[in-house]
Amino acid sequence: MLLGQLLLQTGAEIAIIAAAVIVGLIALWIIVTIPVWIAAKILTLGRAKFTRAMLVTAVGPIVYAIVFFISVAVLTVALGDPTIPAIIAFILAFIAWIGVFKKGFETGWIRALAIAILATIVFAIIGVIITLIMQAIVPGAPPITPIPLQQA
């Protein structure tokens, strides 16, 4: 009887943790999509939709990871030392990621690269703003960004 209650309690805790992780990942996905959408909106002259930015934001890292790991594996077998293959794989994966932006926002390579760069800048700015707000509300909160925003 006690074991049954323990298993039910443990199962409920696991379900709560799983739900929290899923909600957290969805929230993170939406937050990361915002800078991509803003950048795409600016650089596609308003043609970018938020749902398209969400799709690109979801597919981009998957394509990046697949290209990176397959490239590293194949090039390491071909070349031996993993250092050079990792550098080449990083470049190939980045090009694939930009390709997802190109296809997803129906734009050229240069504009897709610009969307990626501008999205990174907007993401950093949002991170700084969130850090400043968090530190104003909770003075002892650690910074979210790697940039120190206040002197100790």
pLDDT digits (tens, 9 = 90+) for 89-109: 999 999 999 999 999 999 999
- Please report which confidence band the pLDDT of residue 152 belongs to, taking 50, 70 and 90 as the band edges: very low
The answer to whether position 34 is within a domain reads: yes
If one counts the domains in the chain, the total is 1
Q: What mean pLDDT value characterizes the chain? A: 85
Is pTM, for the whole model, over 0.75?
no
**Which of 91, 88, 92, 67 has its CA nearest to residue 79?**
88
Residue 111 has pLDDT above 60, yes or no: yes
Which structural domain range is residue 87 located in? Answer: 2-120
Return d(Cα 46, Cα 113) in angstroms, integer: 17
The answer to whether position 93 is within a domain reads: yes
pLDDT digits (tens, 9 = 90+) for 56-72: 999 998 999 999 999 99
The answer to whether position 130 is within a domain reads: no
